[in-house]
Every structure is written in structure tokens, then in C-alpha cells.
């Protein structure tokens, strides 16, 4: 069944789709207020329009074979410089770039067909060939098992929830 789908690199023409998937992902995990969805859609689309051609973001889109206008899944990697650090063994150094896997999303009717795994396999293949020194992600509860079966492990990361900078708010 997985052969019934085509995976391709995302382009700036996919910016709206990528932004829609990003909003839907946050909606599905229950971490966005509905009143903020429109603002996130606009800001995300603007980000993808500039980050894809700049090489700051690499993304993939999946669609049923022969139906490129019907994208049903996607994933991406935000690329950033990596502050030198020890490797997982503590015996060597990681130097170069880090990839933050983001926006792994499969539309509900298309889930449980191996599309997220296919996307993640492509992310891992690409990261190895692109010289990415470290790959990290934030897992939703639904995605955690997939990522663990692919070699990702929980870490000690914590997130500050206080206010650091003004956020964009939508007034109605």
C-alpha cells in the first residue's frame, strides 16, 4: 500500500500546504488556541516561502501516486548551526549542523499506512547524506512509539514557559 504514494521534496509553492499541516498538527495535539490558528498559518507560510529556498528548512510532501494536487502528509527539518558538543558516547565531538525534525504530519484519513515512517526514513537518509551532525525532535504522544522504534531516545530537555519576548496576538 505504501507504493501507492509518492514522496517528493517540498518547494516554496508548497508553503501554504506546509503551514496548513503545521496548524493541523498543533490542533491535533491540543496545543493551540483556535483564535491563534490564522496567525500561525500566515506566519508559518511566510517562514516556508523564505526558508525553503534559503536552505534553512528542507521538507517533504507525500501524495497518492498520480495525484500531486492531493498532498496528505509531510515532514521537515529546520537546519541550524550546532554548538560543538560531545557525541553520544562521550568519546568524540559533534561539529557542524543540527537538524530539528518538525511538522511530521499525516492527515487523519491517511494515517496507519506507513506514511510517517516513510517520511522519517527519508529524513534520516537525507540527514546522513547532508552531513547533519545531530538530529532532534519533539515527539507527540501519538508519534513517540514510531520515533523510538527508529532510534530516537528521550532526553533531558526542558522548556521555559515564561515570557521572553512579545508574542503576536490576534485581537478580535
E strands in 5-143: 5-9, 57-64, 73-86, 93-106, 132-137
Q: Which residues of the chain have pLDDT under 50?
A: 171-172
Task: Please give the CATH topology (third level) of the domain spanning 2-149.
Answer: Aminopeptidase (3.40.630)
Determine the pLDDT at residue 172.
47
Domain ranges of the chain: 2-149
Cβ distance 57 to 97 under 8 Å?
A: no
Calpha distance 111→98 (Å, rounded): 28
Confidence (pTM): 0.89
The number of beta carbons lying within 10 Å of the beta carbon of residue 72 is: 20
Closest CA to 87 of 77, 98, 103: 98
Residue pLDDT, tens place only, 131-154: 999 999 999 888 999 999 999 999
Amino acid at each position: 500500500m505504501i507504493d501507492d504514494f509518492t514522496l517528493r521534496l517540498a518547494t516554496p509553492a508548497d508553503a501554504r500546504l506546509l503551514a496548513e499541516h503545521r496548524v493541523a498538527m498543533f490542533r491535533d495535539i491540543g496545543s493551540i488556541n483556535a483564535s491563534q490558528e490564522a496567525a500561525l498559518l500566515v506566519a508559518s507560510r511566510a517562514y516556508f516561502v523564505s526558508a525553503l529556498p534559503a536552505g534553512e528548512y528542507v521538507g517533504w510532501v507525500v501524495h497518492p501516486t498520480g495525484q500531486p494536487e492531493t498532498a496528505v502528509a509531510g515532514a521537515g527539518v529546520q537546519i541550524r548551526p550546532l554548538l560543538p558538543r560531545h557525541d553520544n558516547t562521550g568519546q568524540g565531538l559533534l561539529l557542524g549542523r543540527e537538524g530539528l525534525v518538525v511538522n511530521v504530519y499525516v492527515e487523519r484519513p491517511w494515517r496507519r499506512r506507513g506514511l510517517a515512517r516513510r517520511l522519517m526514513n527519508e529524513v534520516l537518509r537525507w540527514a546522513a547524506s547532508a552531513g547533519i551532525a545531530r538530529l532532534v525532535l519533539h515527539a507527540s504522544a501519538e508519534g513517540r512509539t514510531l520515533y523510538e522504534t527508529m532510534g530516537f531516545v528521550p532526553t533531558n530537555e526542558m522548556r521555559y514557559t515564561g515570557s521572553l519576548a512579545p508574542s503576536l496576538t490576534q485581537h478580535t
